[in-house]
């Protein structure tokens, strides 16, 4: 499949000085050590679906951060004077920025498979995220869905411009439709769930499922309209300020009602942002736990707070990269599936070694990236079909949407389902007190 041509570049006049400041702002001791540590072994190449599916050396993960590395070597590295004097690292230009745009955005899911395999411990996925900071500052975030949604999120707090009032009305509407009690803006709560904008547009039943499960657990909980949308498209676009604003709004909303647990929805990047990066944006440790919804359900099953009915079903499970490999929530879905009695046909490379669905890291929101996205999806398609399962479950709305679209394009008979909704549909009646 090495005939896939690079996507056409966005027409833009990138701001070189802003890109330079954006790159430099990210360079601290850890980043500098990572940029200095690569031994060019090439192992990361075989971990990247875009390289594996195309054979194009441009898609080698470590190459995608080369522009960032060149800027570091020329401007901040210990031998920067030599790099400048001998021209060993070219000066940053509009042309080089534009040339790297598709590598940094279109051909990287930031899935972390390359980071997992790197013998030097370099978090290449994190370096790509930081490279996007400079690209965003230069005005080179893709102008279609990804860039547009990030701008809307920065301006309104939601990528679709969903206001607090509209969100409150939407929750009550969903509650009435699904026959479930919605708790909204309670003055105190022990648990606060957030939502994904994908669910608002495509899978509203998942919000009803969260409410149904939390009502079943029985602890005080509440949605908050002052910090509810966890998608954080700004993170994948490279907008540091927007990312921090979304994060701080959620932190403030959770602390305002004294909650001890923040529940992240079926959304990958929002989970890793709140679990691993939010404390940095907040400036201190978070005063509450951050749990992905499958973690809360698994803990509640193990403690007896949730009881589920056994079902007779054969299925497979797709591990979302940001929830498993990047987030650490690999075991929780399997606790849930075991409690439900599902006959799980594990995919090849399941768990932390999974292959991305192809749409992560904002790639699903870049129209021109579709040929690359389809090539990457082919790996997941082959593995799901090989499992022989009639349904594949996942715990990420973005993955669910990518699998839905990819399956329809492939003429699949395989269904795609939400693990969260499966639990909500099979809650066992509570025993009488």
Nearest CA-CA partner of 204 in 232, 185, 176: 176
CA dihedral 58, 407, 205, 196 (to 10 degrees): 0
Q: How confident is the model at residue 432, as a pLDDT? A: 44
Pick the CATH number of 16-140 from 3.50.40.10, 3.30.429.10, 1.10.1060.10, 3.40.50.970: 1.10.1060.10
Looking at the chain, the domain(s) classified CATH 1.10.1060.10 span: 16-140
pLDDT tens, position by position, 357-409: 999 999 999 999 999 999 999 999 999 999 999 999 999 999 999 999 998 88
DSSP 232-300: -HHHHHT-HHHHHHHHHHHHHHHHHTT-SEEEE-S-HHHHHIIIIIHHHHHTS--SSEEEEHHHHHHHH
What angle do helix axes 205-217 and 164-178 make, rounded to 10 degrees?
70
Given this model, what pLDDT does residue 433 score?
Answer: 40
DSSP character string of 274-287: IIIIHHHHHTS--S
CA dihedral 272, 214, 350, 115 (to 10 degrees): 10
Between 145-156 and 240-256, two packed helices, what is the crossing angle to 10 degrees?
40
Total residues found in the chain within this entry: 433
Strands (E), 293-396: 314-318, 343-344, 391-394
What would the DSSP string read from start to end of 65-103?
Answer: THHHHHHHHHHTSTTHHHHHHTTSSPPP-HHHHHHHHHH
Instruction: Copy the structure tokens of residue 153.
Output: 């999120």
Take residue 159 and report the two structure tokens written for it: 């990528």
**Cα–Cα distance between 326 and 272 in angstroms, integer?**
7
**Do the Cβ atoms of 114 and 50 come closer than 8 Å?**
no
Q: Is beta strand 289-292 parallel, antiparallel or unpaired with respect to 314-318? A: unpaired
DSSP 231: -
Q: Residue 290 contacts by C-beta under 8 Å, 6 or more apart in sequence? A: 262, 264, 271, 274, 275, 278
Distant-in-sequence, close-in-space partners of 107: CB < 8 Å, separation ≥ 6: 50, 58, 59, 64, 363, 369, 372
Inter-CA distances, 2 with 43, 46, 360, 381, Å: 19, 15, 22, 19
pLDDT at 212: 98
Which of 130, 93, 135, 128 is CA-nearest to residue 109? 128
Q: Are 148 and 237 in contact (CB under 8 A)?
A: no
Instruction: Please report, in tens digits, the pLDDT of each residue of the chain (433 residues total).
Output: 444 444 444 455 899 999 999 999 989 999 999 999 999 999 999 999 999 999 999 999 999 999 999 999 999 999 999 998 888 888 999 999 999 999 999 999 999 999 999 999 999 999 999 999 999 999 999 988 899 999 999 899 899 999 999 999 999 999 999 999 999 999 999 999 999 988 998 999 999 999 999 999 999 999 999 999 998 899 999 999 999 999 999 999 999 999 999 999 999 889 999 999 999 888 999 999 999 999 999 999 999 999 999 999 999 999 999 999 999 999 999 999 999 999 999 999 999 999 999 999 999 999 999 999 999 999 999 999 999 999 999 999 999 999 999 988 888 889 999 999 999 999 998 644 4
Q: What is the C-alpha separation between 149 and 154, in angstroms, rounded?
A: 9
């Amino acid at each position: 499949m090495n005939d896939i041509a690079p996507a056409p570049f966005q027409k833009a006049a990138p701001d070189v000085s802003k890109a330079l400041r954006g790159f430099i702002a990210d360079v601290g001791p850890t980043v500098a050590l990572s940029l200095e540590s690569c031994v060019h072994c090439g192992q990361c190449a075989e971990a990247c679906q875009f390289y594996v599916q195309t054979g194009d050396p441009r898609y080698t993960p470590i190459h995608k951060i080369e522009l960032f590395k060149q800027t570091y070597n020329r401007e901040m590295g210990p031998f920067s004077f030599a790099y400048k004097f001998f021209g060993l690292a070219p000066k940053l230009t509009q042309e080089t920025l534009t040339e790297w745009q598709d590598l940094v955005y279109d051909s990287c899911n930031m899935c972390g498979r390359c980071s997992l395999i790197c013998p030097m411990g370099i978090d290449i996925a994190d370096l790509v995220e930081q490279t996007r900071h400079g690209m965003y500052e230069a005005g080179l975030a893709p102008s279609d869905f990804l860039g547009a949604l990030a701008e809307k999120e920065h301006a309104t707090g939601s990528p679709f411009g969903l206001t607090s009032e509209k969100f409150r009305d939407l929750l009550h509407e969903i509650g009435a439709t699904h026959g479930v009690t919605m708790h909204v803006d309670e003055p105190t709560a022990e648990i606060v769930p957030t939502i994904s904008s994908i669910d608002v547009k495509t899978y509203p039943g998942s919000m009803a499922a969260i409410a149904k499960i939390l009502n079943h657990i029985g602890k005080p909980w509440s949605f908050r309209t002052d910090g509810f949308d966890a998608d954080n498209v700004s993170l994948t676009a490279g907008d540091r300020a927007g990312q921090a604003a979304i994060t701080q709004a959620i932190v403030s909303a959770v602390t305002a009602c004294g909650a001890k647990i923040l529940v992240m929805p079926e959304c990958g990047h929002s989970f890793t942002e709140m679990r691993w990066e939010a404390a940095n944006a907040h400036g201190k440790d978070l005063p509450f736990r951050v749990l992905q919804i499958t973690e809360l359900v698994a803990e509640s099953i193990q403690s007896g707070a949730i009881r589920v009915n056994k079902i007779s079903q054969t299925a497979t499970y797709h591990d979302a990269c940001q929830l498993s490999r990047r987030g650490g929530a690999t075991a929780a879905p399997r606790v849930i599936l075991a409690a439900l009695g599902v006959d799980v046909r594990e995919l090849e490379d399941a768990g932390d070694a999974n292959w991305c669905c192809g749409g992560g890291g904002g790639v699903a929101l870049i129209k021109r990236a579709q040929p690359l996205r389809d090539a990457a999806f082919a790996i997941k398609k082959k593995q799901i079909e090989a499992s022989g399962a009639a349904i594949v479950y996942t715990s990420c709305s973005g993955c669910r949407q990518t699998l839905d679209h990819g399956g329809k394009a492939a003429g699949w008979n395989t269904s795609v389902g939400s693990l969260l909704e499966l639990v909500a549909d099979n809650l066992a009646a509570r025993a009488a007190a």
